[in-house]
Structure 1
Amino acid sequence: METCITPFPNDGAGDQLKPFPERLYAVPPRIASGSVPGISVDAYLKDNTMWKKHVKAYKRINSILDTGRYRNIMDMNAGLGGFVAAIYSSKSWVMNVMPTIAKKNTLGVIYERGLVGIYHDWCEGFSTYPRTYDLIHANGVFSLYKNKCNLEDILIEMDRILHPEGAVIIRDEVDVLVKVKKIVAGMRWDTRMVDHEDGPLVPEKILVAVKQYWTVDGV
């Protein structure tokens, strides 16, 4: 097994990692050292604050978000891992996905926060071994892939990896969400569009959905 373990770098960064769960909100060493282009300590702290605010709004929309009902969770565009840190519970397991076309590669930050993560191109299928998901969070995913592949292809893949009666939270621009809402109506998802927590004048909206349990004969 030793050959499978990546050693800490010799710059002492590994010694700076705090024990979990303190690591969730501590400034990751690579951000503190300025090793992540475009991400300062201040930007990292602001991102944490923003996601705490977003998740607080999500909990008002979905009252069972905090109950442990969603054990397997996926964040399709994890960024700095702020969503997962804000929603963290010992009752859940979260897969953080870093899109291969993301402008900033922050998977290392996610690892230093003590979280699990992976690279993936959402124009392709996602390996569901060893699990599928109860809750999928998609922040800006459809805007990111708007000119890369069809929205339908991404939504069908989301439907495939989502448990029946599982939930989806999609945060994106309103014009994108209107198209998404129209598509998922044919997938038997119950949906609701919600204004941004800062009010209806913000062009970013939230689409919440639940995948219905159904069979071919309707029983």
Structure 2
Amino acid sequence: MKACIFRYSGKMHKERGSGLAPWPQRLTAAPPRLEEIGVSPEEFHEDTNIWRFRVIEYWKQMMSVIQKNSIRNVMDMNSYLGGFAAALNEKDVWVMNVAPVNVSARLKIIYDRGLVGTVHDWCEAFSTYPRTYDLLHAWEVFSEIAERGCNAEDLLIEMDRILRPDGLVIIRDKPAVINYIRKFLTALKWDGWLSEVEPMVDALSSSDERVLIARKKLWDEGISVM
């Protein structure tokens, strides 16, 4: 069998001789480099199981508004170990995993799982040309930039720029963050459909969390044609 070479963000990683499981087992198998970022195999598998459950719950919430093939391009704005993307493997979507700059070392785990990813500072604009996204997933991203003194409104505008009309955002964060974001949904035209729930507490929950899912309206929706 020939060695498989994955090229992500200008980097190359050889599968042969690296100790990685073959695809698709490598998506859920604990990679050897976990110890480099201080994560145990047990923690990795727990993370994978948690995200599988979280994604099931997300899709239950969105069941009434999504159709087959309506979600193709997805961005996980805080990819952590890639569990969200791995849980989406059976849904036939393409996922861009984004590791925040303060945890950039985790990107190696994204690569080891056979996923695509990059590092980005969400206090800055994200280069998306020529792609827009059908779904943006923001887990604790707003809390993270707030701790560094960056502006939530700027990030909302940036997310709106890269989200296609009729696209969806899933924002999982502290209740205070969700309440603040809700004030801007009408102005952003993200009020085509809304769902907000208090999710079950799990090992990844750092505090009380809320999950807000919002759908962006079509640009001409509500505009009368003379």
Is TM-score (shorter-chain normalized) higher than 0.5? yes
Contact map agreement 2:13 2:111 (CA 8 A) in 1: no
Q: How many residue pairs are counted as aligned between the two chains?
A: 207
Quick one: structure 1 residues 146 and 7, their matched pair in 2 at CA, closer, same or farther if it must change by over 3 Å?
A: closer
- State the alpha-carbon separation in 1 of the partners of residues 221 and 71 from structure 2: 26
Counterpart check, 1:85 vs 2:90: no
Counterpart check, 1:147 vs 2:134: no
**Shift, 1:8, TM fit:** 4.6
Output the aligned Cα RMSD. 2.4
**Which string of whole-angstrom CA distances, capped at 9 and with x for unpartnered residues, describes residues 33-84 of structure 1?**
x2222x1111111111111111111111011668332100000000000001
Q: Does the residue aligned with 1:145 lie in a helix, a strand or coil?
A: helix
**1:89-128 alignment runs, 5 A limit:** 89=90, 91-102=92-103, 105-128=105-128
Contact map agreement 2:61 2:195 (CA 8 A) in 1: no
**Which string of whole-angstrom CA distances, capped at 9 and with x for unpartnered residues, describes residues 92-112 of structure 1?**
11100001133x631000000
**Shift, 1:13, TM fit:** 5.5
- State the alpha-carbon separation in 2 of the partners of residues 195 and 5 from structure 1: 39
Question: What residue number does 2:210 align with?
Answer: 205
Question: What residue number does 1:179 align with?
Answer: 180
Question: What residue number does 1:160 align with?
Answer: 161
Percentage of identical aligned residues = 43
Question: What residue number does 2:41 align with?
Answer: 41
Question: What residue number does 1:56 align with?
Answer: 56
Q: AA paired with 2:96?
A: M
Counterpart check, 1:28 vs 2:25: no
Quick one: structure 1 residues 158 and 95, their matched pair in 2 at CA, closer, same or farther if it must change by over 3 Å?
A: same
TM-score (norm 2): 0.83
Contact map agreement 1:189 1:209 (CA 8 A) in 2: yes
